[in-house]
Amino acid sequence: MTARAALLAALALAAGAARAALPTAQAVQAAYDAARVDNAERHAYDLVIEHAVCSQIRGGGYACQIDFVRRAEPDKRLFFDVVTVDERGGHWTLLSGLCVRSSR
Span 48-96, pLDDT tens digits: 999 999 999 998 899 999 999 988 887 878 999 999 999 988 899 999 8
- The residue ranking higher by pLDDT, 104 or 37, is 37
Residue 104 has pLDDT above 50, yes or no: no
* Domains of the chain by residue range: 23-96
Prediction pTM value: 0.72
The predicted structure's pLDDT at residue 15: 47
Please, what sign has the CA dihedral across residues 66, 72, 73, 74? positive
**C-beta separation of 85 from 31 below 8 A:** yes
The predicted structure's pLDDT at residue 17: 43
What's the CA gap between 70 and 72, in Å, rounded?
5
Residue 26 has pLDDT above 70, yes or no: yes
**C-beta separation of 54 from 67 below 8 A:** no
The predicted structure's pLDDT at residue 86: 94
User: Is residue 74 classed exposed, middle or buried when 0-12, 13-18 and 19+ CB atoms within 10 A define those classes?
Assistant: exposed
CA proximity to 60, closest of 30, 34, 85, 97: 85
Q: What is the 3-state secondary structure (H, E, C) of 43-76?
A: CCCCEEEEEEEEEECCCCCEEEEEEEEECCCCCC
